[in-house]
Structure 1
Amino acid sequence: MIEVDNLKKSFSGVEVLKGITTCFDKGKTNLIIGQSGSGKTVFMKCLLGLITPNEGTICYNGKVYSELSPAEQRDLRQEMGMVFQGSALFDSMTVAQNVMFPLDMFTKQSQSEMMDRVDFVLERVNLIDAHNKYPAEISGGMQKRVAIARAIVMNPKYLFCDEPNSGLDPKTAILIDNLIQEITREYDITTVINTHDMNSVMEIGEKIVFLKDGYKAWEGTNKDIFKTDNEAVTNFVYSSELFKKVRQMYLEERN
């Protein structure tokens, strides 16, 4: 679990995060949504320890990050897996080498031990025959799965995903969403996803935090979002005619 209390962050006197308080549950897919400029990226960078907030605390399973020593902070960051928006794979490395990279950097495992772990996570993301391929030789969806395999190869307690469906077709995006949710439940990880994909919100939004102008404007589940009267949320989520129709159908069924 990650607990956030009164988090504030300013740049050059401009307040970007304005006192956010929330929590992200273990074993669930927690989504951060909001318009561009709402503070989503800054919020995630604070959660990752890449940016130091001006005020407030972030607590990881009972440990307040700002109260940890530099060595303890480093150890905590090694318990975090990250899936970047563009996958961020090394073009000059094979799929297996990309996935092995964190193990090679941060552990003292033998080559055979690392390879066993790489085999395991690649099989888990359904890429058993891609070991020797390079990123340019596989599809965008496969690249995302490699990125997920690399993110979980160190068996993290926390998984962060920045726009994991960016650039993917709708069918592949659903597969990636389902894979992230399956892994989250299977390994009981605290997963936080920064997204603007409303399909992801509806499919896997077990906890949704909606940011607006640096504030937490709303939070709830993908079921709660159908019945909320929060105007900021409804304007954002139901900006398309499709989701307006979905919400109307949901409300009619309840009545």
Structure 2
Amino acid sequence: MIKVDNIKKSFGEEEILKGITTTFYKGKTNLIIGQSGSGKTVLLKCLIGLFKPDDGNIFFEDKAIQNMDDEEQRTLREEIGMLFQGGALFDSMTIEENVMFPLRMFTKQKKSEMLGRVNEVLKRVKLENVNKKFPAEISGGMQKRVSIARAIVNNPKYLFCDEPNSGLDPKTATVIDNLIQEITHENNITTVVVTHDMNSVMEIGEKIVFLKNGLLVWQGDNDQIFKTDNQDVTDFVYSSNLFKKIRDIQISEQ
């Protein structure tokens, strides 16, 4: 579980996060949504330690990261898996080497042990017999699954995903969404996903945080988001023709 308590962050005179307080739950897919410029990515970068908040606290379980010493921060980094927007695979490394990279960084396992774990997570994401291929030799959807395998190879307690469906067709995006949720449930991970994809909200939004102009203006789940009377949320949700049709159907059935 991750608790965020009154997080504020500015760059120069521009205040990006204006006091965010929420909780991201263990064993659930927690989504951060909102329009471009709402503060989603800045909040994510605060959570993973790339940005230091100007004010407020972030707690992993009950330990504030601001109070962690160097050893505790290193331990926390080892417990975090990260799925980047573009996949961020190393083009010059094979799939096997890409997935093994965190094990080389953070463990002292023997090569045979690392290879066994690599094969285990590749099998979990339904990618067997691709070990010796390079990222350019597989599809975008397969690359994203490799990125998921790399993100979970260290058995993380916390998984952060930045726009995991970016550049994917709707069918493949649904596969990635479901895979993230399945892995979250199987391993009881605290998963935080930044997305603008309403299909992801419908599929895996077990906890949803909606940001607007650096403020948290609504939170709930993927059932409640279609029933809220919060105008900011409804404007965002029904901004596409697909969800306008869903709303019209719901209204006609009442």
Compute the TM-score of the two structures, normalised by the length of structure 1. 0.98
By how many angstroms is 1:252 displaced?
Answer: 4.5
Partners of 1:176 and 1:142 in 2: CA distance: 10
Partners of 2:228 and 2:102 in 1: CA distance: 42
By how many angstroms is 1:249 displaced?
Answer: 2.5
Matched residues, number: 254
Partners of 2:70 and 2:233 in 1: CA distance: 39
Partners of 1:83 and 1:229 in 2: CA distance: 33
By how many angstroms is 1:244 displaced?
Answer: 1.5
What residue identity is the alignment partner of 1:5?
Answer: D
Partners of 2:173 and 2:85 in 1: CA distance: 13
Report the equivalent of 1:92: 92
The answer for unaligned runs of 5 or more in structure 1 is none
Report if the CA contact (8 A) 1:157-1:190 is conserved.
Answer: yes
Report the equivalent of 1:239: 239
Report the equivalent of 1:114: 114
Report the equivalent of 1:56: 56
Partners of 1:96 and 1:241 in 2: CA distance: 42
Partners of 1:5 and 1:61 in 2: CA distance: 13
2:199 matched to 1:199? yes
Report the equivalent of 1:173: 173
Partners of 2:201 and 2:50 in 1: CA distance: 26
Partners of 2:124 and 2:251 in 1: CA distance: 38
Partners of 1:70 and 1:250 in 2: CA distance: 53
Report the equivalent of 1:7: 7
Give CA deviations for 1:19-69 in whole Å, capped at 9, x if unaligned: 000000100100000111100110000000111001111101111110111
What residue identity is the alignment partner of 2:184?
Answer: T
The answer for unaligned runs of 5 or more in structure 2 is none
Partners of 1:139 and 1:101 in 2: CA distance: 21
By how many angstroms is 1:247 displaced?
Answer: 2.4
Report the equivalent of 2:29: 29
Partners of 1:120 and 1:82 in 2: CA distance: 18
Q: 1:119 to 1:12 in 2, by over 3 A?
A: same
Report the equivalent of 2:182: 182
Sequence identity percentage: 69
Partners of 1:55 and 1:229 in 2: CA distance: 31
Q: Segments of 4+ in structure 1 off by > 4 A?
A: none
Partners of 2:251 and 2:115 in 1: CA distance: 51
Q: Secondary structure at the match of 2:102?
A: helix
Q: Secondary structure at the match of 2:217?
A: strand
What residue identity is the alignment partner of 2:182?
Answer: E
Partners of 1:99 and 1:250 in 2: CA distance: 44
By how many angstroms is 1:105 displaced?
Answer: 1.2
Give CA deviations for 1:172-224 in whole Å, capped at 9, x if unaligned: 00000000000000000000000011100111101110000000011110100
Give CA deviations for 1:141-169 in whole Å, capped at 9, x if unaligned: 00000000000000000000000000000
Report the equivalent of 2:229: 229
Compute the TM-score of the two structures, normalised by the length of structure 2. 0.98
Q: Secondary structure at the match of 2:49?
A: coil
What residue identity is the alignment partner of 2:74?
Answer: R
What residue identity is the alignment partner of 1:77?
Answer: R
By how many angstroms is 1:229 displaced?
Answer: 0.6
Report if the CA contact (8 A) 1:226-1:250 is conserved.
Answer: no
Report the equivalent of 1:146: 146
2:169 matched to 1:162? no
